[in-house]
Amino acid sequence: MSIIEEAKRGNITDEMKAISKLELISPEEVRRRIADGKIILIRNVKKPSKRLIAVGKGITTKINVNIGTSSEVVSVEMELEKVKIANKLGDTLMDLSTGGDLDEIRRTIIQHSEIPVGTVPIYQVFIESFKKRSGGAYFTEDDLLKTVEKQLRDGVAFMTIHAGITKDLAIRALKSRRMIPIVSRGGDMIAGWMIHNNCENPYRKNWNYILEMFKEYDATISLGDALRPGATADAHDEFQVSELIETSRLVKDAISKGVQVMVEGPGHMPLNEVVWDVKLMKKLTGGVPYYVLGPLPTDVAAPYDHIASAIGAGLAASAGADLLCYLTPAEHLSLPTVKQVEEGAIAYRIAAHVGDIVKLGKKARKWDDKVSTYRGRLEWDKMISQLIDPDNAYRVYTQFGKPKVKACTMCGGYCPMMWAMEQVKKVKE
């Protein structure tokens, strides 16, 4: 049985107990939310990762780290360095490779990853078709299904499945006055296939078979947003919302058949639309986990999109988004370096916690309270050990040498906290 079926039968499994302990929620509440599709366990039961990751209602906000080669830059060694960053700072990672031996790269990444690995199977199908037949749209439905199954066998725990976009929606979006008609790489591949073959979306045509495959591995379907806005001007237009409505129907069908599912969210949108975007998605889908890219509230921030998007991500998390897909400084410009992957992951680790302070209240703020207590006492080693990036924090703390006074080198001998401690002694006398 899948974890949803176990939950619907009233069974509290060892995994549910483990999540209960990690997330400080009662085992029964975890069971009930899994049964309703509001909590998912991102895993592949036949090849489980070292860490059990839960995503959803009442759970700490998780972050995803994208890695992978491109057609221009293929370095497995560099990608494995990025895996190390993901293991340290992330909760899930996605292999988005499009260059090199895709099977070998994926299997190597899974082998070295401690966290669940996701993919976008249409990439491999399209690229292999392009190489064999001089055109990406020449793959067959059978090619697509075999690739999905192969990746599940390899141990992939979640996949972006662009099943919400229809042929009609794709054509209308391409004919529209959208700033960027289709920004999703996988969405564009599916749209091109539908138009070239004059057929409906192959994911939709084979939906029941896809559900059977994912149920066998108890993996998660991540319903992709092929028509997400790639510019703030396109946010919440008829195409984005129409696809979300289609997706919400697929969500309910998957849960009813015991398959774990989450929904992918938009890229670019103005800051004032972020909160109600999350609320709209949750309302339409019945509260399943929301996996958002950013959102990015401006189009002009590159090469600082990791900072700009972390603003949107923190707001989205506070409103109920469950899994944040990071952006790096290289977004919109280049394949990221290892350092840029680290910078993006740290920005999103911060954004996730900022959201949790609102979403989970005191349970999340205990961490902040501990840091603030140490900071108020000027207990530097203890404070720094509790920060998101202690190593870098210590380097900054000592960048002009270790302070000669109890305070840091910013305030030095005029530190208000240092003097306040002396004044407290006098007041108590």
- The DSSP annotation for 324-350 comes to EE---TTTTTSPPPHHHHHHHHHHHHH
Count of CB atoms situated within 10 Å of the CB of 77: 7
Q: How confident is the model at residue 39 (pLDDT cuts 50, 70, 90)?
A: very high
The DSSP string of 64-98 is EEEE---SS---HHHHHHHHHHHHHH-SEEEE---
Mean pLDDT along residues 337-346: 98
Looking at residue 181, what is its pLDDT?
A: 96
- The DSSP secondary-structure symbol of 203 reads H
The DSSP string of 263-321 is EE--SB--GGGHHHHHHHHHHHHTS--EEEE--B--SS-TT-HHHHHHHHHHHHHHHT-
| Mean pLDDT over the full length of the chain | 96
Distance CA 229, CA 366 (A): 36
Q: Who contacts 166 (Cβ-Cβ below 8 Å, separation ≥6)?
A: 200, 201, 204, 246
Looking at residue 51, what is its pLDDT?
A: 95
Residue 20: half-sphere exposure toward Cβ, Cα within 13 Å: 15
Beta strands 323-325 and 92-95: pairing type? Answer: unpaired
Backbone angles phi, psi at 272, to 5 degrees: -70, -10
Query: Using one digit for the tens of pLDDT, what is the confidence trace for 161-189?
Result: 999 999 999 999 999 999 999 999 999 99
Distance CA 23, CA 34 (A): 14
Mean pLDDT along residues 218-233: 97
Nearest of 311, 206, 321 to residue 263 by alpha carbon? 321
Mean pLDDT along residues 71-97: 97
* Cβ-count burial 368-385 (b if 16+ within 10 Å, e if not): eeebeebbeebebeebbe
Q: How confident is the model at residue 429 (pLDDT cuts 50, 70, 90)?
A: low
SS3 of residue 262 by DSSP: strand
Decide: residue 137, CB within 10 A, 0-12 exposed, 13-18 middle, 19+ buried. Answer: middle
Task: Locate 207 and state its tokens.
Answer: 């939906």
pTM of the model: 0.95
Q: Is the pLDDT of residue 361 over 80?
A: yes
Distance CA 40, CA 118 (A): 14
Higher pLDDT, 419 or 56: 56
Contact in structure between 222 and 9 (CB atoms under 8 Å)? no
Query: Using one digit for the tens of pLDDT, what is the confidence trace for 119-167?
Result: 999 999 999 998 887 766 889 999 999 999 999 999 999 999 999 999 9
Nearest of 295, 293, 297 to residue 270 by alpha carbon? 297
